Amino acid sequence: MTVSRRKFFINLGKTAGYLALVTSLPQLAWAKWSEKAFTATSLDAAVKAKYGDLPIVDSSEVKLKAPAIAENGAVVPIKVKTDLANVKSISLFVKDNPSPLVTTLHIGPSSLADIQIRIRMGKTSEVTALIEADGKLHRATQQVKVTIGGCGG
């Protein structure tokens, strides 16, 4: 089977177009990445970079479950759940990590605000969950003691 020169160049152009699209997908996926928040070195700076001046309230409606003692800081299981309405996002912060913002998960309008994740902690610290809902940040905190460091010591 022979391919004409015209079909060869058409296929070559399509392939180049597909490659350009595929290589741009990671850039599109990271478009909303908040570099200032993830590179901040203090908890207050990370919260300010991520959420600006949204008011923060301690809330009993935010359920944060973490182990009191984590045997290995490299894999600390965390659960966050709330029944608040209009939840936009859930963010986890570890106060004494080199970069306090661990993750931000955006919650869709038809999703339940109930997450389970494993995080990395360098040393004993306070874990803070911030839930953005109705123009406010709802906070829950818990102290987690780490016996083996997960972030380099």
Cβ-based neighbours of 127, under 8 Å, separated by 6 or more: 64, 66, 76, 78, 92, 93, 94, 95, 119, 121, 141, 142, 143, 144
Confidence of residue 153 (pLDDT cuts 50, 70, 90): very low
Handedness of CA 96, 100, 103, 105 (dihedral sign): positive
What would the mean pLDDT of 55-69 be, rounded to a whole number? 94
CATH of the domain spanning 35-146: 2.60.40.2470
Burial class from Cβ neighbours inside 10 Å (0-12, 13-18, 19+) for residue 37 reads: buried
| Residue 148 confidence (pLDDT) above 80 | no
> Would you kindly state where each structural domain of the chain is located, as residue ranges?
1-31, 35-146
pTM: 0.75
Q: Using one digit for the tens of pLDDT, what is the confidence trace for 71-113?
A: 888 899 999 999 999 999 999 999 999 999 999 999 888 889 9
